[in-house]
Amino acid sequence: MLFLFSLVFYAWGEAVYIWLMLASTVVAYVTGLLADRAKRKDSKLPFFSMLFAIVWNMGLLLFFKYTDFFINTANDAFGMHIKLLGFTLPIGISFYSFQTLSYVIDVYKGDVKSQKNFLTLGAYVALFPQLIAGPIVRYKDVEEQLMQRSETVENFSQGVRRFAIGLGKKVILANNIGALFTLISKTEQSEMSVCAAWLGAFAYTFQIYFDFSGYSDMAIGLGKMFGFTFLENFNYPYIASSITDFWRRWHISLSSWFRDYVYIPLGGNRKGKLRQCVNIMIVWFLTGFWHGANWNFMIWGVYYGILLLIEKFLLWNTLKKAPAVITHIYALFFIIIGWGIFAYDDFSVLTQSFKNMFGLGGVPFSNRMTLFNMLSYAVTFAVLIIASTPLPKKLANRLEAKKPVAFAVCEPLWIAVLLVVSTAYLAGNSFNPFLYFRF
């Protein structure tokens, strides 16, 4: 039933590419059965089966996500006029390609058993709660749950609570602060200021966090309703004390995927410092490349790779000894700069944005419009700052411990109000895109 309705869900959003997901599921099913080395000792078939799965999944991503990018690059570099293919990016392809690939690799490594029931594997690949924008759910994390799980009232209620919080993050917090980023990004250069450029960067920093973590909360909540327990994808990344700490807290499922399936197979830190540096840069270039077919994403990936290397080999001891407030400011500064790179896929707009941020764009430090926006969004920023820390959760836990009856009465009322307000926001806005849909 989950497999069937997950296909209906996917087809509702993009029916034309449902065959692609089914084909990927068939490939994962067949190569998974053939990649089991324990059953085929002294045979090269498991290795070639895994290799075929890698070629298939990476080939799909390269073809649908990057072909036009390569054509554009060739046209610009060599003055060619090759026509773009103009394919629409299949919804969720970046996520289900990584999931099916990790399944086959884990079977080959002997970490999981191959799944003999096609419908069970199909339910894993197409599972609609996390299909569109993650988190990346590995087969080994839900293998037992696919075979045996329990749907209970308690699990369902926890799922509804988590879903409502995620929906609120998206439509109340992310959408509202996203409106400010949109306004600033469309402001004429003659009306810009240094403070406005930084205000836009702050706005996008909060928008992408509450947008993506909101979707992850919704996916985890929906999974809980069906008896699944998905791993957390975020752990308050904006309280990080370093860039290394930030990437232990942000998009955890993607970071751990690249660590286990790229960094460690390349040799990790086992083959000397030079090889480790190369491996880290490869991983972070691919991380940026995974996000989209634009140079800004690759620059963003390389940017973080360089920062992580600097921290690892030059700053680590200094950061450990520095006061917490200093390390926190340091981390936030470079995180905001990173989102400034990530936000603009138009290179000329990206360049102008950074010129404005650092006073090189010929704009004033501030102006009336900037002050107006600061005052208009002051309360919103205060709410966003508090909501991005563990403080609300700690307060809720303390209330539950000290006033269990009051908490039992207030929590469902609060969730109901949150759902009603979120629904009202959805009804009032015809377009509510999740930022990570395009990746």
Which residues are known catalytic residues? 291
Asked if the bond preceding 135 is cis, omega within 30° of 0, the reply is yes
What is the rounded distance in angstroms from the CA atom of residue 277 to the CA atom of residue 256? 18
What is d(CA 98, CA 260) in angstroms, rounded to the nearest whole number? 12
Report the candidate in 106, 100, 439 with the shortest Cα–Cα distance to residue 293: 439
Alpha helices in 295-403 (DSSP H): 295-310, 316-321, 324-343, 347-357, 368-376, 378-387, 391-402
What is 48-72 written as a DSSP string?
HHHHHHHHHHHHHHIIIIIHHHHHH
> Do 24 and 124 touch, CB atoms closer than 8 A?
no
- The encoded tokens of residue 122 equal 């199909």
Q: Which residues contact 425 (CB under 8 A, 6 or more apart)?
A: 171, 172, 175
Q: Could you tell me the CA-to-CA distances from 79 to 71, 83, 317, 346 in Å, in that order?
A: 11, 13, 50, 20
Q: Taking CA 220 as the corner, what is the angle to CA 429 and CA 409, rounded to the nearest 5 degrees?
A: 80
- Angle, nearest 10°, between helix axes 378-387 and 368-376? 50
* Encoded tokens for 190: 């003659």
112-117-122 Cα angle (round to 5): 85
The count of residues in the chain is: 439
Rounded Cα–Cα distance for residues 67 and 334 (Å): 31
In Å, how far are 244, 308, 368, 429 from 276, measured between CA atoms? 15, 12, 50, 48
Closest by CA position to 161, among listed 110, 221, 109: 221
Q: CA triplet 21, 23, 24: central angle to 5 degrees?
A: 65
